[in-house]
Amino acid sequence: MKRSCLLAGMMAAGILSAAWAAPEEKPSTRADQREVAVTIYNENLALVKDGRKVKLDRGANRLAWREVSAQMRPETALLRNVSNPAGIRLIEQNFDFDLLTPQKLLEKYVGREVTVISVNPATGAEKRETATVLASNGGVVLRFADRIETGVPGRLAFSGVPDNLRDTPTLVITLDGKAGGEQNLELSYLTGGLSWKADYVAELNERDDRLDVNGWVTLTNRSGTAYPDARLQLVAGDVNLVQEELVRGRPVQLMAKAAPAEADMREEALFEYHLYTLERPTTIADNQTKQVALMSAASVPVKKELLFEGQNYYYSGQYGELGRKLKAAVFVEFANKGEGLGIPLPRGVVRVYKKDGKGNAQFIGEDRIDHTPRNETVRLKLGEAFDVTADRRQTDFRKLGGTSRYNYVYESAYRIAIKNAKNEAVTVKVVEPMPGDWQVLSESHPHAKVAANTAVWSVAVPAQGKAELSYRVLVRY
């Protein structure tokens, strides 16, 4: 009796195995697509949701879901039945990304027979011979019945294309259909090859106290497939990811200055990030860089700053000359608030222009900003001033006490001579990082203690003139 049960079980298993081996591959192409949604993250990562209407058989199905991303992370793929959640049961899936090329086809036929077709140049008659492919690395090696040849003495004919060699990346899904007929299926997966970044273009006015700024989303698709009429969303924020070997895209080329445009993106909070949704469908072609308007603001109040910044090691040793013709760093800053602004600004590069005397916009510098919440200050370093320079000198240094580096006491004095070759007066900020416990003993201009280790002086310098800042400091370690 046990033997009969065992035989019955083996027969049932064999019948079931035969049933699952039987289904013919059922292709699903972009023609079946009803909708597609793409959410792109900053980290060269995207979530794709591909909705298609597919006709399934009742029972075993082998579905070839074509035209997926070539950089799909197959372990993240999930197929669900939208019209009938319990209508399918997933059995197995295989991601075939080995694409059909003459070389790939030849590699798959190593150890197999091909037909070699050659033409007699004198008569034009074709000759067909059977040969076995022995190797295909760096050239082909063929074994005929009576010889071995390298190279192809004619053209090759193959009996077919191997099942795992595809003309487009394909996810092959084996599933059990609870009911036959048309089903609304959705395949979602994470993929590399899609990335986005923000780019900003700003133009300063003549007086350097106002600017117009336009923000653009620059997205790049190198995933190996297109996403026609996609619902596009972008996530700004630092999403934690388990380290994966993702293919990094090449950097996008610098964006040229563009005319102001109304923003197409709607922003909302998402967990601890921000989500930007394009209010219209868009086609993301393969190997394409696309730009979409993010924001636009006009006549934004801006503050310009010329800055000299010292180093804290100046105050613990004797140096004398600390620099001649030092150039002032040029900064501009504005608040992320007001009409057109006041939205979280994604990380990106801000490129700033200004019109010359003939009204032509000239590039004057760029800087990268991090994710900036609303009402925060955007601060940009644009370069170094040509006409505002300084000579810095330590005029006195004395060690007043201390036997180790933990109880030293130093007194030192400094003079900073600032020159202004411009035709208008400027105000220069001098920022000095002070180590230890410090005290300004004397000074030519009043300082502000903006932090526990920072003193700041504001020095007015007349047009085509100069000014001098001098101060003496006591430092205890």
Q: Measured between alpha carbons, how far is 202 from 353 in angstroms, rounded to an integer?
A: 6
Pair 315, 185 in one domain: no
Pair 89, 107 in one domain: no
Dihedral (C-alpha) 327, 328, 330, 335: value to the nearest 10 degrees? 160
pLDDT, residue 406, reads 72
Please write the tens of the pLDDT for every residue from 268-303. Answer: 888 888 899 999 999 999 999 999 999 999 999 999
Pair 149, 75 in one domain: no
Dihedral (C-alpha) 332, 336, 340, 345: value to the nearest 10 degrees? 100
Dihedral (C-alpha) 41, 43, 49, 50: value to the nearest 10 degrees? 120
Residue 20 has pLDDT above 60, yes or no: no
Dihedral sign from CA coordinates of 278, 279, 283, 288: negative
Closest among 89, 62, 63, 93 to 76, alpha carbons compared: 93
Is 89 a domain residue? yes
Please write the tens of the pLDDT for every residue from 350-400. Answer: 999 999 999 999 999 999 999 999 999 999 999 999 999 999 999 999 999
pLDDT, residue 243, reads 62
Please write the tens of the pLDDT for every residue from 73-103. Answer: 999 999 999 988 888 999 999 998 777 888 8
Of the pLDDT bands very low, low, confident and very high (cuts 50, 70, 90), residue 21 is low
Pair 403, 327 in one domain: yes
Pair 184, 313 in one domain: no
Is 421 a domain residue? yes
Q: Give the pLDDT mean for 53-67.
A: 94
Residue 345 has pLDDT above 90, yes or no: yes
Q: Three-class SS string for the chain?
A: CHHHHHHHHHHHHHHHHHHHHCCCEEEECHHHEEEEEEEEECCCEEEEEEEEEEEECCEEEEEEEECCCCCECHHHCEEEECCCCCCEEEEEEEEECCECCHHHHHHHCECCEEEEEEECCCCCCEEEEEEEEEECCCCCEEECCCCEEECCCCEEECCCCCCCCECCCEEEEEEEECCCEEEEEEEEEEECCEEEEEEEEEEECCCCCEEEEEEEEEEEECCCCCEEEEEEEEEECCCCCCCCCCCCCCCCCCCCCCCCCCCCEEEEEECCEEEEEECCCEEECCCEEEEEEEEEEEEEECEEEEEEECCHHHHHCCCCEEEEEEEEEEEEEEECCCCCCCCCECCEEEEEEEECCCCCEEEEEEEEECCECCCCEEEEEEEEEEEEEEEEEEEEEEEEECCCCCCCEEEEEEEEEEEECCCCCEEEEEEEECCCEEEEEEECCCEEEEECCEEEEEEEECCCEEEEEEEEEEEEC
Pair 433, 392 in one domain: yes
Residue 146 has pLDDT above 70, yes or no: yes
Count of structural domains, the chain: 3
Dihedral sign from CA coordinates of 49, 51, 52, 54: positive
Is 148 a domain residue? yes
Residue 8 has pLDDT above 90, yes or no: no
Distance of alpha carbon 196 from the chain centroid = 5
8 A C-beta contact, residue 434 and residue 455? yes
8 A C-beta contact, residue 298 and residue 260? yes
The two three-digit tokens of residue 411, written as one number: 């007194």
Pair 25, 132 in one domain: no
Its domain, for residue 68, covers 19-35+52-98+166-190
Pair 437, 406 in one domain: yes
Is 285 a domain residue? no
Of the pLDDT bands very low, low, confident and very high (cuts 50, 70, 90), residue 22 is low
What percent of the chain shows pLDDT beyond 70? Answer: 91
Pair 408, 446 in one domain: yes
Residue 5 or 292, more confident: 292
Is 227 a domain residue? no
8 A C-beta contact, residue 14 and residue 170? no
Please write the tens of the pLDDT for every residue from 238-259. Answer: 778 776 544 443 333 333 333 4
Closest among 58, 49, 19 to 182, alpha carbons compared: 58
Is 247 a domain residue? no
Cβ count within 10 A of residue 143: 14
Lowest mean pLDDT among 161-170, 271-280, 316-325: 161-170
Pair 467, 329 in one domain: yes
Pair 321, 431 in one domain: yes
The two three-digit tokens of residue 334, written as one number: 């504005």
Please write the tens of the pLDDT for every residue from 96-118. Answer: 877 788 888 898 899 999 999 99
Is 401 a domain residue? yes
Dihedral (C-alpha) 297, 303, 308, 314: value to the nearest 10 degrees? -90
Please write the tens of the pLDDT for every residue from 424-455. Answer: 999 999 999 999 999 999 999 999 999 999 99
CATH code (residue 141): 2.30.30
The two three-digit tokens of residue 285, written as one number: 């072609």
Dihedral sign from CA coordinates of 146, 148, 153, 155: positive
Is 405 a domain residue? yes
CATH code (residue 428): 2.60.40
The pair phi, psi for residue 138, each rounded to 5°, is 70, 20
pLDDT, residue 477, reads 84
Pair 468, 381 in one domain: yes
Q: How far is CA 68 from CA 33, 76, 190, 353, 473, in A?
A: 12, 13, 11, 41, 67
